[in-house]
Every structure is written in structure tokens, then in C-alpha cells.
Chains A and B, each alone.
Chain A
């Protein structure tokens, strides 16, 4: 068995070369950002030695850019930096509340939302929030750069579209304009630091009269992957996001879910709670949008 090795590329080209060279030889690599999932897995469920490719020393994966048309969040930026960024928090209150829900102060000093996405857990809190905010994954590989909508990135429990020679460079979002805002809520049985039983992210755009003109709703921890729920968005568009519309959106979330029963909750409980979370996150997004 091979021994562990460590590489610290400083450019995307260098990172891709290391990944591609190992892939060609059939040797395993592991991309390392904050390491808060990877290091735990290395010592428990997945002890096979591999080449660790630390992507934290690349300018592109650390780039945080808030432009008039797009916002780019590098994949290796620790969530503490995002949570402290007031401009980002004002633009994406839902995305930041999702990032801020994950882990302790210590974990947030390392963990990135790019890593949360690449870990591809069904319960990753930022994933529904990223999907709701129309996040696009910017991926670098031997074939150049490609872009994948966030809802298409995760393919199953712990799996995603990244090839062996690819890495996530960052996430690009359309800059919210006018009365556009998002919200994210999850349910856990305590107040801090637990894994979601269910989660829901909602992003809305309202017109001057308060009517919803665009919506995206995504749910987490109630299916093998986080899901975009177009039927829930359709239930909100054209309404003032009143209780009736929110109830219909919640029902659409329940219908789209396919949860399991485990120690955190039963199928029936998750189906019910995901609707409640959708309604409340939707109301939060609406109220934030109205305040703009």
C-alpha cells in the first residue's frame, strides 16, 4: 500500500497537473481545503493512504469578489471569513446563515462552503442555500474550466461530478438585484452544532407591489442529495408569498422529498418538518426582500 503524500500547489495549473498525473497512474488523490471532513474520514471510514492536494495556497480558490453582476466565492475560503463579511451577509443572508450554522468557532476557522459542497453529504447545510441562490460551480481540470449548476453537482451520497483530474475553484452567484433575498433554516434537536434533520433554502425576487416574480426553493437532508424543488418555486411565483402560497410551496417540498428514517428522525417527521422549514425560510426571504 502506498504511503500518504502531500502537495501544496500554488496555481490551478499545478493543482490540475498533480491530480491528472496521479489519475493517469491510477493513484488516488484527495483534495484538502479546510480538512474538517477529510481528516475525520481519513481516521475512520476511509484510511487508504493517498496524495493530499492542499488547495488553500492558490489565488483563485481564495478569491472573494463581489461584483455588480456576479459574486465569486473561492472554494477554499473558510466560512469564518464569509460570516464576517457584512457586504456578503447583506446580499445573501440565507447563504451566510447556512454557513454560520455549521460547526463551532474552531470548525468555521477552517471549513469552507466549497468543501461542504464537495463532501456532498445529503445534510450539508450550505448546499440547499447555494442551490437557492443560483450558485454555479466553477471547475478546473485537464480539459480546461467548466461550469455546473449547483443542483447538478452532487450525484449521490458523498459523490459528485468532479473527475479525478478536477477541482472546484469556487462558486459564482448572480448578484441579487432589487427586491431579491434568501433565507435558510434547518431543524436540529438542539441549538448548536448538529447535523440537519431537514433543511430548506428559499430565494425570492419581488416586484414593487410585493408580488413574487422569481423563486428558487431547495431542500436538504430529506433525499440522497439536496434537491431543487421547481414545484415549490411555482407555488410562490405570481403570489405575494402569503400563508396560502407558502403552504403550497411547503407541500411541494414534502412531495419532492424521499427521506429515510434514522436516529435523527423518521420519514414522516422529516416530510412534515421540511414543509414547515420551507414556509418559514420563505417568509424570512419575503420579509428581507420587502425591506429592500
Chain B
């Protein structure tokens, strides 16, 4: 039971933690760092509720080990808003009621921001395929798609 000392960067802040080698990044974020914004859905990489950014790539934190975070840059849902100012993607999810139970929402928002950061003007098909790894059992997806499209429009006006 030798824990590994890991130094990483979460939402721009250096963090240190002790990880079991087999612990997932999701478990480490929630249980070691107390960052419970990232949700566990399936824990098998199918539902996307645990989505985070790892060195600029969208990944499932349930399919990443905590020890792999050594030296990495991680962005979680807690790093999306700027202070008390919600990110436009977060605001549009609220405005369009693109959530119900909310378990999938942090993953959707992290994934949506990743999409819009690289493709500010995605068409609906692109949005649906990009978000195909995020499952929602409440909304039926249409409200989510509309929120993403509206967020893209607003971000384009801001730019």
C-alpha cells in the first residue's frame, strides 16, 4: 500500500496529493482534493459525467489514473466560471433549462467549452457527435444542443 506523491496543477493552482496507484483521477479529485463538481456516472468511460481537460484534451477522469496527473494541467468544472461570473456555456445551460437532475451537467459543460474553444461555430451534427460521449437521461438532448448553439452565438459576439 505505497501511496504515490503527485504534484499537479488543477484549474491553474498547484496541488499535491497522495494517490494509490490504481486510484482514478476522478476518485482523487473528489476524495483527496474535495472537488466534487466532477461527477461519477458509469466509471467505465461510457457516460462522460466525469469529463475534465487533461493537458488540453477532453478525457474521462474515471479512465485516467491519479498518478498520471503528475506534472499535468487539469481543468475541472470548478475552473470554468471566472470567479462568481458564470461562463456563457454555464449561463446558457441555465437559460435553456438544459438540465434536470444535473449529474451529467458538469461533464457536458466541460465538453462543450472544449468544443467551442477549438471550433467556435460548430454545426448541429458536429455538436451532436462531439457530445456523443456525454449521456443525459433527462433532457432528450435537444435543450442541450440549443444551449450549446446559443452559447456559441454569444461567444462569437463577444469575440
Interfacial residues, chain A to chain B (CB-CB below 8 A): 3-6, 8, 32, 34-36, 39-40, 42-44, 49, 52, 54, 56, 78, 80, 103-107, 109-110, 192-193
B4 touching A6, Cβ below 8 Å: yes
A49 touching B129, Cβ below 8 Å: no
Q: Enumerate chain B residues within 8 angstroms of A54, measured Cβ to Cβ.
A: 67-68
A106 touching B59, Cβ below 8 Å: yes
Given contacts A8-B70, A52-B21, contact A192 B59 (CB under 8 A): no
A40 touching B70, Cβ below 8 Å: no
B1 touching A3, Cβ below 8 Å: yes
Q: Enumerate chain A residues within 8 angstroms of B44, measured Cβ to Cβ.
A: 40, 43-44
A106 touching B65, Cβ below 8 Å: no
Q: Enumerate chain B residues within 8 angstroms of A32, measured Cβ to Cβ.
A: 65
Q: How far is the CB of B117 from chain A (nearest CB, A)?
A: 13
B59 touching A110, Cβ below 8 Å: yes
Q: Enumerate chain A residues within 8 angstroms of B60, measured Cβ to Cβ.
A: 106-107, 110
A4 touching B21, Cβ below 8 Å: yes
10 other A-B residue contacts (CB within 8 Å) besides A4-B22, A106-B133: A4-B20, A6-B67, A35-B63, A39-B62, A42-B22, A43-B43, A52-B67, A106-B60, A106-B111, A107-B45
CA distance A35 to B22 in the complex (A): 11
CA distance A39 to B61 in the complex (A): 11
Q: How far is the CB of B41 from chain A (nearest CB, A)?
A: 12
Q: How far is the CB of B38 from chain A (nearest CB, A)?
A: 13
B63 touching A5, Cβ below 8 Å: no
Q: Enumerate chain A residues within 8 angstroms of B48, measured Cβ to Cβ.
A: 104, 106
A109 touching B21, Cβ below 8 Å: no
Q: Enumerate chain B residues within 8 angstroms of A3, measured Cβ to Cβ.
A: 1-2, 21
Sampled A-B contacts (17; CB under 8 Å):
A5-B2, A6-B21, A35-B63, A36-B63, A39-B62, A40-B45, A43-B43, A43-B44, A52-B22, A52-B65, A52-B67, A54-B67, A103-B133, A105-B132, A106-B133, A109-B54, A110-B57
Q: Does B11 contact A (CB under 8 A)?
A: no
Q: Enumerate chain B residues within 8 angstroms of A44, measured Cβ to Cβ.
A: 44
B65 touching A39, Cβ below 8 Å: yes
Q: Enumerate chain A residues within 8 angstroms of B131, measured Cβ to Cβ.
A: 105
The chain B residue sitting closest to A104, CB to CB, is B133
CA distance A32 to B114 in the complex (A): 25
CA distance A265 to B47 in the complex (A): 24
The chain A residue sitting closest to B133, CB to CB, is A104
Q: Enumerate chain B residues within 8 angstroms of A5, measured Cβ to Cβ.
A: 2, 21
B21 touching A36, Cβ below 8 Å: no
CA distance A116 to B37 in the complex (A): 31
